[in-house]
Amino acid sequence: MRSDAKTMNVPFFRPPIGEEEIAEVTSCLRSGWLTSGPITKRFEQEFAEAVGARHAVAVNSCTAALHLAVEALGLAPGQAVLVPTMTFAASAEVVRYRDAVPILVDCDPVSFHIDLADAERKIELLAAGKVAAAGGETPKVVGIIPVHVGGLMMDIDALRDFAARHELWIVEDAAHAFPAAWRANDTEPWQRCGEDTSAVTCYSFYANKTITTGEGGMAVTGDAQLADRMRMMSLHGLSHDAWKRYSGGGSWDYQIVEAGYKYNLTDIASAIGVHQLPRAEQMRKEREAIARWYSDALADVDEIELPIAPKNRIHAWHLFPIRLRLEKLRVDRNAFLSSLREAGVGCSVHWRPLHLHPYYERFGWTPEAFPAATPLWQRLVSLPLFPGMQDAERDHVAEVVRTLCSQNRA
């Protein structure tokens, strides 16, 4: 490797915070109004417009948004929900919050999306009492929580067809998918993620997401009743006027209608969000340009497979996961990842599938039940990808990957 290779350190992600965000946060701090108030209202309205949704509820994480969504849809103890095994903790844990059963589903080995054919199989096995996670019972499957992994949207028509056939609600885990869109083919108009793509679409504004508020999330829906329920439950289950009370316009009196949660987003966080939002498409384009550059620069490296970029998708490019061809390498993924880090390339793995975590092992899932996800995760490495990444940083990442592959060729 070149001599500067050792000295350069490329982080996995660097949040692109501009002067506007800093000025707005400062002004919020000086205003005397720190918690949910006018800036959060504005963020909700502008976000709803950006994705083409009728209602948006700002919350303090995507996890909170997912939890509120399944609660509002009436997910009850003992019911079952289809959840991909190839996802982050949040997508399934919210099902457990309701004492319901996540039925883990295998993934497509290339897109990493939930495999609807396996979902179909899981429903059949459940009906036959053959799913250990359900304890031999036949719980009612009421919903599905697909994940647009890395910001690449699923085929929404296929998803909706599947859900309609099985009478399931859909809650999209769109933690990675803002801004993103899909269309069935070149003659169809684009449909944005969140533009009536499901009952509720949930986004994350965690520090490394495509737009950030430090920590934060949003639930969007076209259904006014779901929106009202999520809003009420996000603030202790207080009667609707509690929000007005917060902004000084309402009555001092309020009523507790339900045992809710404390999930509201602060104006300090929204002050960051309202300035990230107008830059979202520009930042997406920057990520897309880097993803294209990586794809060209690494196209001839035989030891890896690159992420796909289907033409009927506007890809949010939250992640750039490569798949190692382990049969062509003398090292495993962990050793490869350690070498990347030693050479100053911040990287990560998305994800160890849920069925391989101790908590989910107790439901009786076996690695063999997920023939795609089980071997796939041992091949995964996510490379750095963020707006503002310097050419020298991008060059360094590609050079290190190329060099490690040639040094470790089998």
Ligand X SMILES: Cc1ncc(COP(=O)(O)O)c(C=O)c1O
Indicate whether 173 belongs to the interface with ligand X (CB under 6 A).
yes
Cα atoms in the Cβ-side hemisphere of radius 13 Å centred on 23? 5
Q: For residues 63 and 266, which CB has a smaller minimum distance to ligand X in the complex?
A: 63
Name the residue with tokens 């992420």: 307
Binding mask 77-96 for ligand X (x = CB under 6 A): ----------xx-xx-----
Binding mask 175-214 for ligand X (x = CB under 6 A): x----------------------------x-x--------
In three-state secondary structure terms, 238 is: strand
Q: For residues 61 and 221, which CB has a smaller minimum distance to ligand X in the complex?
A: 61
Report how far residue 350's alpha carbon sits from residue 5's, in angstroms, rounded to the nearest whole number. 25
CA distances from 195 to 31, 56, 149, 163, 307 (A): 34, 11, 18, 17, 25
Cβ–Cβ under 8 Å, residues 231 and 200: no
Map the footprint of ligand X across residues 251-290, applying CB under 6 A: none
Indicate whether 314 belongs to the interface with ligand X (CB under 6 A).
no
Enumerate residues 6+ apart whose C-beta is below 8 A from 196. 52, 53, 222
Maximum distance among all alpha carbons in the chain?
A: 72
Map the footprint of ligand X across residues 23-52, applying CB under 6 A: none
Indicate whether 340 belongs to the interface with ligand X (CB under 6 A).
no
Indicate whether 61 belongs to the interface with ligand X (CB under 6 A).
yes
Among 36, 40, 63, 234, binds ligand X (CB under 6 A): 63
Q: For residues 60 and 221, which CB has a smaller minimum distance to ligand X in the complex?
A: 60
Indicate whether 13 belongs to the interface with ligand X (CB under 6 A).
no
Q: Which stretch binds ligand X (CB under 6 A): 59-67, 269-277, 307-315, 383-391?
A: 59-67
Report how far residue 171's alpha carbon sits from residue 263's, in angstroms, rounded to the nearest whole number. 18
Q: For residues 277 and 343, which CB has a smaller minimum distance to ligand X in the complex?
A: 277
Q: For residues 204 and 221, which CB has a smaller minimum distance to ligand X in the complex?
A: 204
Among 8, 50, 62, 400, binds ligand X (CB under 6 A): 62
Q: How far is the CB of 176 from ligand X (least distance, A)?
A: 6
Report how far residue 326's alpha carbon sits from residue 270's, in angstroms, rounded to the nearest whole number. 44
Q: For residues 62 and 337, which CB has a smaller minimum distance to ligand X in the complex?
A: 62
Nearest Cα to Cα of residue 405 among 344, 310, 333: 333
Cα atoms in the Cβ-side hemisphere of radius 13 Å centred on 186? 2
Phi-psi category of residue 386: left, alpha or beta, with phi > 0 → left and psi -120 to 50 → alpha: beta
Strand-strand pairing, 101-105 and 80-84: parallel
Indicate whether 317 belongs to the interface with ligand X (CB under 6 A).
no
Q: How far is the CB of 290 from ligand X (least distance, A)?
A: 20
Q: Which stretch binds ligand X (CB under 6 A): 60-68, 156-164, 252-260, 340-348?
A: 60-68
Q: Which of 130, 209, 262, 285 is catalytic?
A: 209
Indicate whether 217 belongs to the interface with ligand X (CB under 6 A).
yes
Nearest Cα to Cα of residue 307 among 198, 152, 175: 152
Q: For residues 63 and 111, which CB has a smaller minimum distance to ligand X in the complex?
A: 63
Name the residue with tokens 């019911």: 79
Q: Two tokens at 198?
A: 């499901």
Q: Examine the residue annotation and report whether 209 is marked as an active-site residue of this protein.
A: yes
Q: Two tokens at 194?
A: 């969140």
Indicate whether 382 belongs to the interface with ligand X (CB under 6 A).
no
Q: Two tokens at 39?
A: 């800036």
> Which positions touch ligand X (CB under 6 A)?
61-63, 87-88, 90-91, 147, 173, 175, 204, 206, 217
Q: Which residues participate in catalysis according to the annotation? A: 209
